[in-house]
Amino acid sequence: MHYSVMLKETIDSLNLESNGIYVDATLGYAGHSSYILKRIKGGRLFAFDQDIEAINYSTKKLSAIGTNFKIIKSNFLFMKEELAKNNIFKVNGIVFDLGVSSPQLDNSERGFSYLHDAKLDMRMDKDNELSAYEVVNTYSEKDLTRIIFSYGEENYAKSIARNIVREREKKPIETTFELVDIIKHSMPYKKTIDKNPARRTFQAIRIEVNHELDILEESLRKALSILDLNGRMAVITFHSLEDKIVKKVFKEMTEVDKVVKGLPEIPEEYQPKFKIICDKLPSREELDENNRSRSARLRVIERVRED
């Protein structure tokens, strides 16, 4: 079952207009898109995803609600360009849900989860050549250490990378459980008791495979450039690395230009084009209902001036 985190808060924050144009940058299994489509009978919805399984599922789900939508198989980095092909240059709202969808985690064949044994994969777009198998079996010890430490914030990155390289010299590391076993033996036993020791390393490899952080900042800036006056963008993050990028971009877009900061009166052309609407964590009720919400954070920004 797919559970859209902070669904009500996100949809409410967009201030949906029935005839507006909205973008779901991370369609997944249409959790947010379904609610948006129900409320914009006279508007249009454009949704992006790279996962053909999610696209096929969501096409059926959204078709049962309405026909005023279009799903585009593309990374959200190319949102602006893809919308332009459809003669869309301004939109009223955008939502980014940066988490891996529950069906992706729960489908053992996709190799995203450390809880299911499967071939190492982790590709959101199955057409991509780079998979977790290539990362684990071909990256140098130095690069593995960098990725696991930087993207996973894992204190035992060096030990894990060293043991990966040592084990793959005997034979290729092919499955998720083989990798989990290596990770477990790369850190003190007491660190493997309370939480699954593989969580951070799997996150790091998934981010590397899908270039998640490399494209996030540019994607956010491009998305904000097509947001219409009074339009809002909602972003849900699931770990500190993502959230730092979102927070940084939102802060820059809502601050007074440094050139005039400190003046008693700021000229209109130097006023911020955007303002922060909210910064929320999941409710206690949601946390009790869905454990996967525990690391989520919702940030919302609104355009208040034209460029």
Q: What is the pTM of this model?
A: 0.88
Q: What is the structure's pLDDT at 293?
A: 83
Alpha-helical segments (H) within the chain: 7-13, 31-39, 52-63, 79-85, 102-106, 132-138, 141-152, 157-168, 176-184, 199-210, 212-225, 240-254, 284-289
**DSSP summary character for residue 101:** P
Q: What is the pLDDT of residues 19-46, one digit of tens each?
A: 999 999 999 999 999 999 999 999 999 9
pLDDT at residue 3 tops 90:
no
Please name every residue paired with 301 in a beta bridge, in sequence order, or none if there are none.
233, 276
Distance CA(204)–CA(16), nearest Å, equals 35
| Structural domains present in the chain | 7-97+213-303 (3.40.50.150), 104-210 (1.10.150.170)
Higher pLDDT, 257 or 89: 89
Average pLDDT of every residue of the chain: 92
**HSE-CB for 5 with a 13 A CA cutoff:** 29
Q: Which residue has the tokens 């959790």?
A: 31
pLDDT at residue 198 tops 60:
yes
Write phi, then psi, for 274 (nearest 5 degrees): -135, 160
pLDDT at residue 104 tops 60:
no
Q: What is the structure's pLDDT at 108?
A: 63
Please enumerate, as own/partner, the contacts of 253-256 that have beta carbons within 8 Å and a separation of 24 or more. Answer: 253/224, 253/301, 254/301
